[in-house]
Amino acid sequence: MVEILPAQADEAKNETAGVYAREEGRKKKAIPKGVVLDKDGKPCRSCTSFRDWAAMTEKKIASPQPKEPPSTTTAATSLPLDCPPDVETLGRSTWTLLHTIAATYPTTAPMEKQTEMKTFINIFSRVYPCWVCAEDFQRWIELPENRLLPGRQGGHLSGRASFGQWMCGAHNEVNRKLGKREFDCRRYEERWRTGWADGRCD
Ligand SMILES: Cc1cc2nc3c(=O)[nH]c(=O)nc-3n(C[C@H](O)[C@H](O)[C@H](O)COP(=O)(O)OP(=O)(O)OC[C@H]3O[C@@H](n4cnc5c(N)ncnc54)[C@H](O)[C@@H]3O)c2cc1C
């Protein structure tokens, strides 16, 4: 389930009994709790969980198949694999890409690589399709302690270890916001590069 995000806080204030009415031209529309609106006022699919989206479109969410256990903890929401991603599917795929990029970053990064990575993260933070997620991420990367400063000795971009910890911190920030358990960043390499010490990934 998607939390009501900070950007929706004002809208949430107007909420009554879990549903609020919104003026859209002359037409009033009921938007279920949890559905995030795009800046044009329409529901934002990549900002909303499939569960909340399906509640809005009044679709029944399929139960997991009895013979096939869900492959992830949230598969019970059953967004078919060939549908546009909801906020969770998009998030999981994106974190996989971001952490894999961090885990394969050079041990000691040359200046050119550091500049490239700063540019990538800045652009990423502007084009990420869930706009509420993107805006919070932009704010986080602008905090003095999180700034990516190419060339700074021991800085977040200086090499794989520090960049991985930065990425882990970025993800934990979202975990906290969503009320999820924080990841132990000491296990970062095992999770994203080497595989777990017990050998189950080998
Ligand atoms: C930049 C960004 C901002 C986002 N903002 C929002 C938001 O505002 N609202 C919203 O509803 N969703 C947001 N999401 C999506 C959200 O973070 C999750 O991806 C989504 O809720 C699915 O969560 P999950 O529990 O399946 O696992 P995910 O959080 O996607 O994690 C996938 C896997 O990564 C590993 N992991 C978890 N935490 C860490 C960590 N700190 N470091 C390294 N590995 C870790 C775990 O093994 C986990 O199974 C955002 C995603 C991104 C990429």
Q: Where exactly are the structural domains of the chain?
A: 6-77, 87-194
Two structure tokens written together for 184: 């132990």
Two structure tokens written together for 121: 């993260």
For residue 140, give the 3-state DSSP assignment: helix
Residue 62's pLDDT is 57
pLDDT tens per residue across span 17-75: 233 333 344 445 678 889 999 988 999 999 999 999 988 887 766 555 544 444 444 44
100 lines ligand 1 (CB under 6 A): no
Task: List the CATH code of the domain at 87-194.
Answer: 1.20.120.310
Residue 87's pLDDT band (cuts 50, 70, 90): very high
Ligand 1 probe mutation, 171, 172, 190, most atoms within 8 A of CB: 171
Q: With 0.75 as the threshold, say if the pTM is over it.
A: yes
87 lines ligand 1 (CB under 6 A): yes
91 lines ligand 1 (CB under 6 A): yes
Residue of minimum CA distance from atom 33 in ligand 1: 92
For residue 108, give the 3-state DSSP assignment: coil
Three-state SS across 31-56? EECCCCECCCCCECHHHCCHHHHHHH
The secondary structure of 3-38 as a DSSP string is PPPGGGHHHHHT-BTTEEEEEETTEEEEEETTPPBP
191 lines ligand 1 (CB under 6 A): yes
Residue 79's pLDDT band (cuts 50, 70, 90): confident
Q: What is the largest CA-CA distance in the chain?
A: 61
Task: Using alpha carbons, select from 96, 93, 94, 114 the residue that is nearest to residue 159.
Answer: 114
Residue of minimum CA distance from atom 47 in ligand 1: 191
Ligand 1 probe mutation, 3, 46, 92, 95, most atoms within 8 A of CB: 95
